[in-house]
Amino acid sequence: MSSLFRSEEMCLVQLFFQTESAHNCISELGHLGLVQFKDLNPGVAAFQRRFVKEVKKCEEMERILSKKSTFEKLEQELREINRNHAALRQNLIELMDIDSLLRMTEDFFEEAESLLTYSEPPSEDSVFIAGVIKQERFPAFEKVLWRLFHGNFVLRHTEMQATEELQARGAVKKDVFIIFVQGDHVREKIRKVCEGFRASLYSCPKTLYERKQMSNSVMTQMEDLRMILRRTEEYRAGVLTRAAEHVQEWGSKVKKMKAIYYTLNLCNIDITQKLIVAEIWCPVSDLTLVQSALIKGSEQSGSSVTPVLNRIQTQQTPPTFNRTNTFTEGFQAIIDAYGVGTYLEINPAPYTIVTFPFLFAVMFGDCGHGLVMTLFAVWVISQAESLRKWKNEVLNDVVIGGRYIILLMGMFSIYTGLIYNDCFSKSFNIFGSSWCVRPMFHAHGNETLHEYHHLQLNPFVPGVYSGDPYVFGIDPVWNIASNKLSFLNSFKMKMSVILGVSHMLFGVALSLVNFVHFRKFQDIFLQFVPQLIFMLSLFGYLIFLILYKWCITLRSETAPSILLLFINMMLFDYQSEHVLLYRGQKGVQIFLVLTAVLMVPVLLLVKPFLIYRTRMKTRHQVGEKDHFICFLLQVSMGDIFVYQAIHTIEFCLGCISNTTSYLRLWALSLAHAELSEVLWRMVLQVGLKISSGMGSLMLVVLFAAFAVLTVTVLLIMEGLSAFLHALRLHWVEFQNKFYEGSGYKFTPLSFDSLLKTQQ
């Protein structure tokens, strides 16, 4: 029967299956996630294992996939697309050059023609060449032309207008130029010069009409090219996204294969090479599930022989398996972080679900902060799946994994905040305060009010204290009292001691359950009972004193301090001027201290003595000649004594130190309350105290600062601090009363958890 109370009963099972069906069977078991494979070849090094080549191949593929590069076919396709794209771009740039050239050469032609008509009659061999050159090269180009033609040419140039599109595609500044020369033979020379300067030449028609035609055709070509380029880019993007999806799929397949081959490495291959033997740990209640998964696997691979399950008895300790759901796995994780429970030991997790958020809330108690924390946790729970995509390790593990813990912490904090009556350091007066001011000053009138700066409400004056305490929590009048801390400190310290001793007594009681389960009845009388009596007679009595003093009416000037009472009790110091709380207190206290002191030798000596006696008996029975062997096989008596002494000292001294350790509940709640008050007084009150109209604007700004500081300092920093201290109280003070924690965790072959860790 599975429950969170105790870890599950596990069994060791031998599996026999055929080599052909091995892959499918293990794949089915991986999807099931309920079996842990034992390493049957522990002495074999990693590189000597049978399937080491396959594992390496899978690792290679994993590496390739993780670099997000594509497979060969995809790669080729992409290269081709890129080449086409580059060529088209080049074309587009050329066409744009021609277009601007044509536009700018209009006026050149007119000017040139007029110049030539003035100087010489127009001859058939006047040549003009038009082209585009990089702007930085133009001055050198001009100089060379001068040297070549000795000024017998006309050269005109303008800067080409850099359009947005060109700039976006990273083009450089270019100039358009046009040269007019006489003579046909110079055409070659000019062409060579232009080649040297890497200027691109374009043929330019002579007549206006032809130029206009060319301009139009260039425009349409450019439009076509632009459209083609856009289509190419879209297609490329589509190909890449489709490939990305496939990469994810392939990645998970490769991971699964690697896990399967790794598992096969753990198994034994029979001498005939046809049979694989595996040993698995699996929960007893899941044997039928495992069997059906194996049958399904062997059917898939088409083999005729079903795998055989053979449960074997073993002396080895099985792993510890606690079946958890999404809610409980967070709490189980924080228990396992300190130590995984011994096999079949009692599991502290179900109690931790309540006590951990409660102890956190005692240290955090503020209903305003608790409300913010609860709302945050509700948001994380509702968005858990989409938040998992954020790759941040810390956020994923802590916040998303612990979202239910945070929710409970917040809800419990609202509760303790209502008890402390603390909401952003202000109190609520829901039920009507039990303290009334008017009767205190009614008799003497206004003189008292005006003369004294510090006024007090004396509960012995009739009418001031109504006699009935505030219905739920701390009375709101304490929020505006100047001796608020004296009252609250006393209250919180005593409360911490009560909670601490109760928590520890509960831990001791759980050890009884463990003893009963493991049938160590001797230990119940030798360990559990003396420990309980020791703790109750000293610290149980302390709690009684606290509660008794709270219940009776005392005058505060003569009330005895509980701490002094306790110290005097331990020192047997009963002088007549000491005030005691009740009649017969001296006798009761002496009796309790003597009882507690008597328990120490019981814890220390009785168990080793009994072990010694049983050894003596068996030695007499076995006889003298086996004396030597017996002596070697057994642990020496000295070790047993020392172990028992350590355990006794740890328990007895630990009682005192652990009880004091619980005082951190008081310390942290005090720190939280003070920080909260300081934040209100120094930040928000500054804005509230401005009574003019500007007050509202200041309030807007200061509230934003107040909110940011509340979240960072009070929620995150104090929250983490209280979380840590509550965790420590569980791990050390609570669990060392009963928890052994020396087991190892059940790690089944599970594809779900494998793929989750990949993401």
Partner 1 sequence: MASLLFCGPKLAACGLVLSIWGVIMLAMLGIFFTTHSAVLIEDVPFTEKDMEDGPTALQNIYKLYNQVGYNCFIAAAIYVGIGFLSFCQVRLNKRKEYLVH
Sites of contact with partner 1 (CB under 8 A):
372, 424, 426-429, 476, 479-480, 681, 685, 688-691, 693, 695-697, 699-700, 703-704, 707
Supply the minimum distance, in Å, between the C-beta of residue 237 and partner 1: 11
Rank residues 240 and 697 by Cβ distance to partner 1 and give the closer one: 697
- Measure CA of the first residue to CA of the last residue in the chain; give whole Å: 34
CB of 50 or CB of 426, closer to partner 1: 426
The DSSP symbol for 575 reads -
Q: In terms of C-beta density within 10 A (0-12 exposed, 13-18 middle, 19 or more buried), how is residue 309 classed? A: middle
- The region that residue 425 occupies, defined by phi over 0 for left and psi between -120 and 50 for alpha, beta otherwise, is left
Contact 733, 502 (CB under 8 A): no
| Least distance to partner 1, CB of residue 699, Å | 4
CA distances from 589 to 582, 584, 659 (A): 11, 9, 19
Do the Cβ atoms of 740 and 335 come closer than 8 Å? no
> Which is closer to partner 1, CB of 584 or CB of 693?
693
- Closest to partner 1 by CB, 630 or 688: 688
Q: Is the dihedral of CA 443, 448, 449, 455 positive or negative?
A: negative
d(CA 379, CA 37): 39
Cβ 692 to partner 1 shortest distance, Å: 9
Nearest CB to partner 1, comparing residues 150 and 453 = 453
Q: Of 391 and 625, which has the nearer Cβ to partner 1?
A: 391
Q: What is the enclosing helix (H) or strand (E) of 113?
A: helix 72-119
Minimum Å gap between C-beta 386 and partner 1 is 14
Residue 369: closest CA among 430, 428, 422: 422
- Give me the half-sphere count of Cα atoms (radius 13 Å) on the Cβ side of residue 421: 20
- CA proximity to 731, closest of 672, 666, 661: 661
Q: Which CB atom, from 189 or from 484, has the smaller least distance to partner 1?
A: 484
Cα R_g (the chain), whole angstroms: 44
Shortest spacing between CB 239 and partner 1, in angstroms: 17
Q: How far is the CB of 424 from partner 1 (least distance, A)?
A: 8
Q: Which is nearer to partner 1, 522 or 685 (CB)?
A: 685
Shortest Å, Cβ 365 to partner 1: 17
Give least dist CB 418 to partner 1, A.
Answer: 15
Q: Which is nearer to partner 1, 241 or 747 (CB)?
A: 241
d(CA 648, CA 605): 10
Nearer to partner 1 among residue 622 and residue 707 (C-beta): 707
Report the nearest approach of partner 1 to the CB of residue 482 (Å): 11
Report the alpha-carbon distance of residue 262 to residue 256 in Å, rounded.
10
**Residue 170 and residue 180: Cα distance in Å, rounded?**
31
What's the min distance (Å) between Cβ of 371 and partner 1?
Answer: 10
The enclosing H or E element of 178 equals strand 174-182
Cα separation, 753 vs 748, in Å, equals 9
Which tokens in the block code for residue 401? 């994994």
The total number of residues written for the chain in this structure: 759
- Tell me if residue 37 falls in helix, strand or coil: strand
